[in-house]
C-alpha cells in the first residue's frame, strides 16, 4: 500500500487521503500496540532475566528501534495531515516518510527474525515460551479481536 502510494506521489498523482489515514492507523494499532506491545510486555521482560550480555545488547537495540517506529508513525501522521490540507505541498513529506519506513523495516525484521527469536528459543525454557505465548494471546482482545481482520 505504501509503495503504491509512494509511486503515485512520485508521479505527481493524488493519493486517497482515507488510505493514508488507514495506513497511520495500521502502524499505530498493528506495529506499535499489537506487535511491539507483545514484545515489550512479555518477551523483552522474560529475556532481561537472562545474564548473557549479547541478549541485553540485542534488547537495547530493539527497544531503540521500537522508539524509532513510534517516531516514524508520528511523522507519517503529521505528513498525512499536511497532505490532506494541501496535497501539492504535502506530497514530498509523505513520500519522504514512506521512503524512511521502507528503509527501516527490512533491517528491523531481520534483527527480530535472526537475532531476537533465536535467542529467545535458546535461553527461554519451553514453559517460559508457553507463558509468553499466552501473554501474546492476551494482547489481541485488548486492542480488539478483529484488528487483524480489519487491516
CATH for 2-150, options being 1.20.1250, 1.10.3470, 3.40.50, 1.20.120: 1.20.120
Domain boundaries, the chain: 2-150
* Of 105, 135, 107, nearest in space to 26 by CA: 105
Read off the pLDDT of residues 32-75 as tens digits, 9 standing for 90 and up. Answer: 988 899 999 999 999 998 777 888 889 999 999 999 999 999 99
Residue 97 above 80 pLDDT?
A: yes
Q: 71 CB contacts (<8 Å, ≥6 apart)?
A: none
Q: For the whole model, what pTM was predicted?
A: 0.85
Query: Which of these ranges, 3-7, 78-82, 102-106, has the smallest mean pLDDT?
Result: 3-7
pLDDT recorded at residue 144: 63
Amino acid at each position: 500500500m505504501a509503495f503504491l502510494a509512494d509511486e503515485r506521489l512520485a508521479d505527481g498523482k493524488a493519493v486517497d487521503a482515507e488510505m493514508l489515514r488507514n495506513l497511520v492507523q495500521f502502524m499505530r494499532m498493528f506495529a506499535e500496540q499489537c506487535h511491539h506491545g507483545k514484545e515489550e510486555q512479555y518477551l523483552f521482560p522474560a529475556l532481561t532475566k537472562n545474564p548473557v550480555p549479547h541478549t541485553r545488547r540485542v534488547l537495547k537495540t530493539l527497544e531503540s528501534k521500537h522508539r524509532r517506529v513510534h517516531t516514524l508513525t508520528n511523522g507519517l501522521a503529521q505528513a498525512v495531515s499536511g497532505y490532506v490540507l494541501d496535497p501539492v505541498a504535502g506530497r514530498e513529506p509523505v513520500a519522504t516518510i514512506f521512503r524512511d519506513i521502507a528503509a527501516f523495516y527490512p533491517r528491523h525484521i531481520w534483527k527480530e527474525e535472526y537475532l531476537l527469536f533465536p535467542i529467545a528459543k535458546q535461553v527461554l525454557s519451553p514453559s517460559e515460551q508457553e507463558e509468553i505465548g499466552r501473554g501474546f494471546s492476551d494482547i489481541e482482545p485488548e486492542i480488539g479481536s478483529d484488528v487483524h481482520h480489519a487491516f
